[in-house]
């Protein structure tokens, strides 16, 4: 049993589903980078780990979104339909 019945379904999934899975996979890595670099500074400023986690979470979501948008834009420059 094939996962995709035809090649068009597969192409649509690659254009929409793959960036979402990439964002889900990279978000914890970006979170670890942000919490290790910004966490102590934010904790010193706020005095609360809850506030620090919320700020870092928002920064991670924003950074992941912008990185995915950037990679999707760069990807369309290299892989266009006229190849």
Rounded CA Rg of the chain:
18
How many C-beta atoms surround the C-beta of residue 3 within 10 A?
Answer: 7
pTM of the model: 0.72
What is the average per-residue pLDDT within 48-73? Answer: 92
d(CA 66, CA 41): 23
> Which class for 55: exposed (0-12), middle (13-18), buried (19 or more C-beta within 10 A)?
middle
**What pLDDT was estimated at residue 6?**
79
**What pLDDT was estimated at residue 81?**
58
pLDDT band at 1 (very low <50, low <70, confident <90, very high): very low
pLDDT band at 58 (very low <50, low <70, confident <90, very high): very high
pLDDT averaged over every residue in the chain: 84
Do 7 and 60 touch, CB atoms closer than 8 A? no
What is the average per-residue pLDDT within 49-62? Answer: 96
């Amino acid at each position: 049993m094939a996962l995709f019945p035809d090649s068009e379904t597969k192409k649509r999934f690659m254009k929409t589903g793959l960036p979402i899975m990439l964002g889900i996979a990279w978000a914890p890595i970006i979170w670890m980078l942000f919490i290790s670099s910004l966490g102590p500074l934010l904790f010193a400023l706020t005095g609360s780990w809850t506030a620090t986690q919320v700020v870092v979470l928002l920064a991670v979501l924003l950074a992941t979104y912008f990185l995915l948008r950037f990679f999707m834009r760069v990807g369309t420059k290299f892989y266009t339909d006229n190849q």
